[in-house]
Chains A and B, each alone.
Chain A
Amino acid sequence: MSAVRTRPDLAISGEHKELRSMVRELMADTSSSATLREVMETEDGFERKTWSTMAQLGLMALLVPERYEGLGQGPVEASIVFEEMGRALYPGPYFASVALATNALLCSGDGAACSDLLPGIAAGSTIATVAMAEAVKPWSSPNTVCTSARRNGDAWILDGSKSFVPHGHVADLLLVTARTDAGLSLFAVEPAEAGVETHALTSLDLTRRLAAVSFVGARARLVGADGGADPVMASTVDRALIALASEQAGGAARCLEMSVEYSKQREQFGRPIGSFQAIAHRCVEMLQRVEFARAASHYAAACQATQVDELPVAARVAAAYCGRAYRWVATENIQVHGGLGFTWEHDAHLHYRRSWASETLLGNAEEHYMAVADRVGLGPPEEVA
């Protein structure tokens, strides 16, 4: 156990800058607006070719420790990649495989499962995701998990259904929460097995589809301790929220760029609309949120990297701030563009859709505010692994 550090390391290195420009170039080459619109209409919703290129560059291996055939990089490096993918609305299962599944396996502390499952994820040959939420009320609480698991010799058998699973329709590996006699537990399930059925849901976010999965006597592997998934999922969600916050900061930054470019070139009343204070000040308010969202997500990732004691607070602060910031900037971006911004052809709505979906995916700002209040010490302490 390392000593608690009180300040995160906020320095940006040359390697960080190289990583950012590498991912930005890759995204520009492979995820242009035209390509995005083509692939979002396909069944998979993303391009396998780009996914292999990303794998070759080691992007899926970033968070995986070297002993599991990964690159052993940290959350700060990952947050740079997520920010760039958020800018480009990258439609592939990167968030599902890296932010959700990789973190869930790492948080489980199950060495055997990590050895068996992480190398495939790191190589990009396994697309993995996490299935937590169910279509019950209230869906966001792990306490409402109805999916159940029972032991059958060495294996486990799963029954129930999950929903809102990011990229569940293309996953080769599902990490599923289910209830056993001992409590909430985590299981690895291969959707190709008998008794698993997956289908993509019509999703608000056209660039990140959610799926429903049902299990009828499906074979599963227990990951971590029987009944031990509550703290595992709590830290998985925190880590995934930090990644999501970085994506949101990147998406917001792209929306701001669109608004600024447009307000320089669009003329009304004989001058560029950006020369009107009403528009200029709106753009500055967008910049404020973009810069602070970038600061919040970077800070939270840096806290995670060195396990600073601010981490539990910073994770939810970033989640609450970045979620609202992205949605606000994406909303205003449409207004700055006028009628053009309301057309199907303009990318503004793709960000707008993503911003609503991301803000809701792992709990919304209302829930994060309550968590922030708890975690700074107003309420009872929460259990986080």
Chain B
Amino acid sequence: MTENPPLQEFLAEAEAFLASRYPRREAEDRRPFQWGEGSDEVRVFQEPDPDEESEAMPRIRAWRAALWDAGFAWISGPPEYGGRGLPRSYEAAFSSLSRKFDVPGDAALTVSLGMIAPTILRHADERQKQEYLPALFRADLIACQLFSEPDAGSDLASIRTRAVRDGDVWKITGQKVWTSGAHLADVGEIICQSAPGPRHHNLTAFMVDMHAPGVTVRPLRQMTGGASFNEVFLDDVEVADSARLGAEGEGWRVALTTLSYERNAMGHSAFGGAGILSTDRLMQLIRHAGLANDPLVKRRFGELVTELRVARYAQEITAERMRAGQAPGPEIALNKLALSANMARLGEFVVGILGPRAIADTGEWGTYAWTSVVLGAPGYRLGGGSDEVLKNMIAERVLGLPRST
């Protein structure tokens, strides 16, 4: 057992690595938000222009590969799978350090690294861990999550996509929907019906090659106007039995793991674009509108900040529990419920401040841009499970209430 290097030493090594490859951000970029300067974009969903996105991907992959080679791609991961084996606090320190440099953002890898990789770590066999974990953290492979179907949304366990075994291979046929990032993904975690067995025991999980013959990805246009998710058609797609994740019939358990990491990722305020929940940004908006001395505005702002802060404190406590080695349980969905409620509160507050400048674009900086929060909030509330589905799940699995019928 080797001792961890002191944090200072680790950070010095990290800084040398970052400085050798990436320019430092200009002091201006790191300056706190200033009204009227730079981009006024606020987003709930990452919906980049498709051309810009495909241009950005090689840069993101190169960044992850460089991180991997230098030992910074998976700082808290187990060394046997290429991780550095250091405490999560080192990972957090590295990520705040890296923000001082002009490095590509990791938003396109949230599903890969935040949801699929932890599922593999929990459920995959040794060989699969060796195969996928380094590749995901290097971004040699980008993963998506193929769960929902046109007839299996809230009732996810009634998945109809079939996997039929034929010797050492499985043939998968069906349709998936609402798949974020499928158009960028190399591999997908898919849940299929594999046997006619009893509910929750008839599903099996696989890692399917998104470039395999028979896989078709079509973008879906969202009510915001952007397109970050897709429908995926699978027509007799061959998957080797060695790509099965967990035992036959155990797919539901695998799916639950991914879903709990998804709710954790979605409950995280960093998710959904920086700055939306920034107190400072809101205060500048209030001042710009000349309402800083309005007691009604002040009281409503105080209430909004209270709700946002409590949600953040709860997240930090969750993160602390995870650092201490606790896996996220079903209670993690509370953070997601809170964040989607806060997104709605935020929209209401901001539109109240903006007035008509929120319903027509006057060209004034920092005003109409907020409509993307208003338009994105309903989707955020649905993503990872509607409020009602999450409440059913929490009632059963956290409170132990009888199943609702």
Contacts and interface: CB of A to CB of B under 8 A. Distances in A.
Interface of A: 7, 10-11, 260, 263-264, 271-272, 274-277, 279-281, 283-285, 287-288, 291-292, 295-296, 298-299, 313-314, 316-318, 320-321, 365-366, 368-374, 376-379
A192 B117 CA distance: 68
Residue among A263, A264, A288, A296 with the most chain B CB within 10 A?
A288
B334 A288 contact: yes
A287 B283 contact: no
Contact of A275 (B306, B337, B404): B404
B338 A292 contact: yes
Contacts of A318: 310
A280 B404 contact: yes
Given A295-B314, A321-B310, A370-B298, A264 B392 contact: no
B301 interface: yes
Interface stretch (B143-151, B227-235, B393-401): B393-401
A263 B314 contact: no
B311 interface: yes
21 contacts: A10-B317, A264-B400, A271-B402, A279-B401, A283-B399, A283-B401, A288-B337, A295-B310, A296-B314, A313-B309, A317-B309, A368-B302, A369-B299, A369-B306, A370-B302, A371-B302, A372-B309, A377-B279, A377-B280, A378-B286, A378-B298
A260 B292 contact: no
Secondary structure of the B side of the interface?
helix
A314 B405 CA distance: 41
B13 interface: no
Contacts of B399: 260, 274, 280, 283-284, 287
B329 to A, nearest CB: 12
A272 B400 CA distance: 12
Nearest to A379: B298
A359 to B, nearest CB: 14
A374 B402 CA distance: 45
Interface residues of B, number: 41
Contacts of A277: 388, 391-392, 404
Contacts of A287: 331, 334, 394, 398-399
A11 B320 contact: yes
Given A10-B317, A313-B305, A373-B305, 7 more contacts: A272-B401, A272-B402, A274-B401, A288-B334, A292-B334, A318-B310, A369-B303
Secondary structure of the A side of the interface?
helix
Nearest to A11: B320
B305 A284 contact: no
Nearest to A319: B306
A365 B394 CA distance: 28
A299 B313 contact: yes
B324 interface: yes
B316 interface: yes
A277 B396 CA distance: 11
Nearest to B390: A284
Nearest to A295: B314
B30 interface: no
Contact of B391 (A280, A369, A372): A280
A275 B25 CA distance: 55
B306 A264 contact: no
Contacts of B31: none
Nearest to B405: A275
B158 to A, nearest CB: 19
Given A260-B399, A277-B392, A281-B395, A377 B334 contact: no
A372 B302 contact: yes
A292 B334 CA distance: 9
Residue among B279, B305, B309, B316 with the most chain A CB within 10 A?
B309
Which 10 A-B residue pairings sit nearest by Cβ, starting from the closest?
A: A369-B302, A280-B395, A299-B313, A373-B302, A295-B314, A274-B401, A275-B402, A10-B320, A372-B302, A284-B391
B89 to A, nearest CB: 10
Contact of B311 (A292, A365, A369): A292
B298 A292 contact: no
Contacts of A263: 401
A274 B309 contact: no
Given A370-B298, A373-B301, A376-B283, A314 B309 contact: yes
A56 B292 CA distance: 52
B256 to A, nearest CB: 18
Given A275-B401, A277-B388, A373-B299, A292 B314 contact: yes
A366 B309 CA distance: 16
A317 B300 CA distance: 13
Given A287-B398, A288-B334, A378-B292, A296 B324 contact: no
